[in-house]
Amino acid sequence: MSCRYRFVSAHSSSELPDDQRHAVTRLCGAVNVKRGSYYTWKASAPARAAKAAEDQVLTSRIREIHQSSRCTYGAKRVALDLAEAGAGPVNHKKVARLMRQAGIEGRHQRRRRCLTKQDKTAPPAPDLLRRDFEASAPNVKWCGDITYIPTGESGFMYLATVIDLFSGRLIGWSIADHHRAELVRDALAAAVAARGGDVTGVIFHSDRGSEGGFNRSSQHLDSGGVRWVVRRRTCRRGELVVGGSGRRIGRCG
């Protein structure tokens, strides 16, 4: 409706030449608005100008808060910061409107993808570490996991890592566009190579997943990799044969 009022105002302005200026009544009839409504709108022009100036100042403060948050805050968080800064209570819907008009947008948190899918049909592997993640020497306890890296339009890349718990050092890693068994195999092979090939007695710990061809843990191969060996009558221990070297890494869930 305001665009119609602005049309009437623009074409009935006294600043126009006589041959270009039209009567308000005729213009209101042409755009189907009431003459009284037009004059009410015109009388409220100073109030609208003051509100526009106020919104401009508020938009500047919104932009400052948004930039200080590294462009992550949305309307609700910006409204809270405005209130804490002494700007008074500002409705988050108003903040959202001003942000939208100024092209300011917060970043939405990505939904976290869980790469661990436990195989409920398989017997659980024993936790050989017993939640003790302290190591007294190198090549005693290793741990690993898979994480995903969003790459925009290219989808996701998957990173498998192997860390020595003694030093916290990353000793092996592999990255690919999938999270199948060979991803972890390559990471473990890199870790074994980094430690000179001798990994006798090393325990490799990870979560319990079954996706991508893994068995009981997203770090352990289902075929050609994990070998279940009964060490004692009451303890079963899995071993991972890396490549063709015959080296074995103790496995726990």
Q: Specify whether 94 is located in the same domain as 181.
A: no
Answer yes or no: is 215 within a domain.
yes
Q: Specify whether 25 is located in the same domain as 96.
A: yes
Answer yes or no: is 28 within a domain.
yes
Answer yes or no: is 158 within a domain.
yes
Q: Report the pLDDT value the prediction gives residue 210, as an integer from 0 to 100.
A: 40
Q: Specify whether 90 is located in the same domain as 168.
A: no
Q: What is the mean pLDDT of each run of 10 residues along the chain (253 residues)?
A: 84 82 86 87 88 91 90 88 81 91 80 58 65 83 84 81 90 88 86 84 69 37 34 38 43 47
Q: Please tell me whether the overall predicted TM-score, pTM, comes out greater than 0.85 for this model.
A: no
Answer yes or no: is 114 within a domain.
no
Answer yes or no: is 136 within a domain.
no
Domain that holds residue 49: 2-102
Helix orientation angle between 75-84 and 45-68, rounded to the nearest 10 degrees: 100
CATH of the domain at 228: 3.30.420
Six-digit token string for 234: 């009451």
- Cβ atoms of 37 and 47 within 8 Å: the answer is no
Q: Report the pLDDT value the prediction gives residue 125, as an integer from 0 to 100.
A: 61
Q: Specify whether 147 is located in the same domain as 237.
A: yes
Answer yes or no: is 110 within a domain.
no
Q: Specify whether 247 is located in the same domain as 148.
A: yes
Q: Specify whether 43 is located in the same domain as 90.
A: yes
What is the number of residues in the chain? Answer: 253
Q: Specify whether 148 is located in the same domain as 243.
A: yes
Q: Specify whether 224 is located in the same domain as 159.
A: yes
Q: Specify whether 35 is located in the same domain as 88.
A: yes
Q: What is the DSSP string of the chain?
A: -HHHHHHHHHHS-TTS-TTT---HHHHHHHHT--HHHHHHHHHTHHHHHHHHHHHHHHHHHHHHHHHHTTS---HHHHHHHHHHTTS----HHHHHHHHHHHT--PPPPPPPPP-----TTSPPPP-TTTT----SSTTSEEEEEEEEEE-GGG-EEEEEEEEETTTTEEEEEEEESS-SHHHHHHHHHHHHHHTTT--TT-EEE-----GGGBSSSTTSBTTTTEEEEEEETTEEEEEEE-TTS--EEEEE-
Q: Specify whether 88 is located in the same domain as 151.
A: no
Q: Specify whether 81 is located in the same domain as 159.
A: no
Answer yes or no: is 135 within a domain.
no
Q: Specify whether 145 is located in the same domain as 208.
A: yes
Q: Report the pLDDT value the prediction gives residue 121, as an integer from 0 to 100.
A: 65
Q: Report the pLDDT value the prediction gives residue 215, as an integer from 0 to 100.
A: 35
Q: Report the pLDDT value the prediction gives residue 248, as an integer from 0 to 100.
A: 44
Alpha carbon of residue 100 to chain centroid: 22
Q: How many domains does the chain have?
A: 2
- Cβ atoms of 145 and 170 within 8 Å: the answer is no
Angle at 249 between CA 248 and CA 253, to 5 degrees: 140
Examine the fold and report which residue of 47, 73, 102 is the final residue of a domain before the chain moves on. Answer: 102
Answer yes or no: is 68 within a domain.
yes
